[in-house]
Amino acid sequence: MRFMQVFSIERQDNMEENQELDMDHLMQVRREKLDKLRAEGKDPFQITKFNRTHTTKQVIDNYDELEGKDVTIAGRLMAKRIMGKASFCHIQDGEGKIQSYVSINDLGEESYKQFKEDDIGDIIGITGFVFKTRTGEISIHAKEVTLLTKSLKPLPEKFHGLKDTDLRYRQRYVDLIVNPEVRDTFIKRSMIIKELRNILDEKGYLEVETPILNNLITGDAARPFKTHHNTLDLDMYLRIAPELNLKRLIVGGFDKVYEVCKNFRNEGMDIKHNPEFTNVELYAAYEDYNDMMDITEEIITRLCMKVNGTLKINYQGLDLDLSTPWKRITMIDAIKEKTGIDFNEVKNDEEARKLADEKGVELEEGKTTRGHIINEFFETFVEETLIQPTFIMDYPVEVSPLTKRKKDNPSLTERFEVFIGGREYGNAYSELNDPIDQYERLKKQAEARANGDEEAGMMDEDFVNALEIGLPPTGGLGIGLDRLIMLLTNSASIRDILLFPTMKPLN
């Protein structure tokens, strides 16, 4: 049986099937139908409640129990085929789609005439008994059809085949209606965040909430969004990270805390970056970055199993195996593996700058120390080659202002980032708890900001005060959830996994 699909441009009963209609005319026809309904006292927008007994999925999943019994469903009319005195249609709700058989003998002449006037996109309610057609399709034999909402604008053809991605992002509500795979992605997103909370709750972490509006720029290196509080006459910033507030809570006596949080960074946009994004940050007293590696493996593998049922996945053509244990290697050793250059043999800034010149590594102004150059070599020659899950450990102190130094090499820190498919997915430290060292590092950040570095953080005297009260040895971890959800749902762009990504207005 061939159905007139929602993806086709709307057709009217008295016109040739393949004739395309002007959108303005289509909308006018629908408004005239609404005016007629209102004139007859049947305004669908006056309906405030509809008592449905089942979702489409419940009907399909429980067919053996429901066969021959009456049910009431509601949803959007997605396809319709009129065959004289009998018709078939498909109704879609939040859980799926089901077929319904509608006939003049069951509805009566007036109700059946109204059903024939209903348009693709209208929201209707159907009461009838459950049966299977001769082809075995579970369906509802309608006894009553109720128009609940009149759709005044046809669903556009350009959504078919996901051709207009910009329009999909701008009109996500239409995208969700006509593209089931998009709906599935966002169901998986919800599953991932719920399972993440389950994992951390099981491990004794306390979920907390910290401020989004802050007086200072702290917790990471990033350009912030700035606003102004009128009552206090105070400039404020949307947070770039919740880190310092979460560590204040460890000082306060909570042993394990986490926050699934929205962060904001006033920086570039691409397939991996949106100005508003979601992270999870967690902190555990009496643990270090080795413990954070263990929990990172557990979180990502459990989330992958939850939504994919396997640890062997394909992401945009890359075959990935998330089976543990993952490779663990220092940044300096990773650079040596890829380039043959051993920065353990490079003793000072001058030697490092000479090496950068020889290899054509560009350095930003003010970032020309040996530590900065080690980081630049890694980003230039190594990062994109890390396809299978890899922990890169022991970052230079210059790029890790909140991290504890390594005992045997104070120029490096107990920090790691985890890379999969050439992208970074998590960042963790053995947290710096020495208030004297922390003050000096924050002072350098503040000086860099005063000298024009818009990504440098500010001095936070209160955080130093908290460290003076005493922060126990602590491990901390941050995971970019949007990027992780991209990986686990095989989504090419961050916009594919954000319901409402940031978009430039059309006007």
346 located within any domain: no
Q: 135 with 280, same domain?
A: no
Cβ-count burial 287-299 (b if 16+ within 10 Å, e if not): bbbeebbebbbeb
Q: 319 with 461, same domain?
A: yes
Q: 30 with 108, same domain?
A: yes
267 located within any domain: yes
- End residue of a domain, out of 155, 190, 215: 155
425 located within any domain: yes
Look at residues 87, 67, 64, 63 and name the one whose alpha carbon lies nearest to residue 77: 87
Contact 467, 435 (CB under 8 A): yes
- What's the pLDDT score for residue 161? 43
pTM > 0.95: yes or no: no
Contact 150, 124 (CB under 8 A): no
459 located within any domain: yes
Q: 67 with 143, same domain?
A: yes
Q: 50 with 183, same domain?
A: no
Q: 402 with 307, same domain?
A: yes
- What's the pLDDT score for residue 21? 56
- What's the pLDDT score for residue 148? 98
378: its two tokens: 């890694």
Which domain CATH number covers 200? 3.30.930.10
Q: 103 with 215, same domain?
A: no
Whether the ω angle into residue 325 lies within 30 degrees of 0, i.e. cis, is yes
DSSP per-residue letters across 65-112: HHBTSEEEEEEEEEEEEEETTEEEEEEEETTEEEEEEEEHHHH-HHHH
- End residue of a domain, out of 155, 189, 213: 155
- What's the pLDDT score for residue 366? 82
Q: 104 with 238, same domain?
A: no
Q: For residues 27 and 23, what is the distance between their CA atoms, to the nearest angstrom?
A: 6
Output helix, strand, coil percentages for the chain, rounded to the nearest 5: 40, 25, 35
- What's the pLDDT score for residue 2? 36
- What's the pLDDT score for residue 451? 86
Q: 316 with 230, same domain?
A: yes
Which domain CATH number covers 136? 2.40.50.140
340 located within any domain: no
Q: 48 with 90, same domain?
A: yes
150 located within any domain: yes
Q: 285 with 214, same domain?
A: yes
How many domains does the chain contain in total? 2
Q: 196 with 91, same domain?
A: no
Contact 89, 120 (CB under 8 A): no
16 located within any domain: no
Written as tens digits, the pLDDT of the chain (507 aa) is 333 333 333 343 433 333 345 888 999 999 999 999 999 999 999 999 999 999 999 999 999 999 999 999 999 999 999 988 999 999 999 999 999 999 999 999 999 999 999 999 999 999 999 999 999 999 999 999 999 999 999 987 644 544 578 888 999 999 999 888 999 999 999 999 999 999 999 999 999 999 999 999 888 888 999 999 999 999 999 999 999 999 999 999 999 999 999 999 999 899 999 999 999 999 999 999 999 999 999 999 999 999 999 999 999 999 999 999 999 999 999 999 999 999 999 989 999 999 999 999 999 888 899 999 999 999 999 999 999 999 999 999 999 988 999 999 999 999 999 999 999 999 999 999 999 999 998 998 888 888 888 888 889 999 999 999 999 999 999 999 999 999 999 999 999 999 999 999 887
Task: Report the DSSP pairing between strands 206-207 and 256-264.
Answer: parallel
- What's the pLDDT score for residue 190? 98
Containing domain of residue 142, as a range?
23-155
- What's the pLDDT score for residue 220? 83
Could you count the other beta carbons within 10 Å of the beta carbon of residue 224?
24
Contact 85, 45 (CB under 8 A): no
403 located within any domain: yes
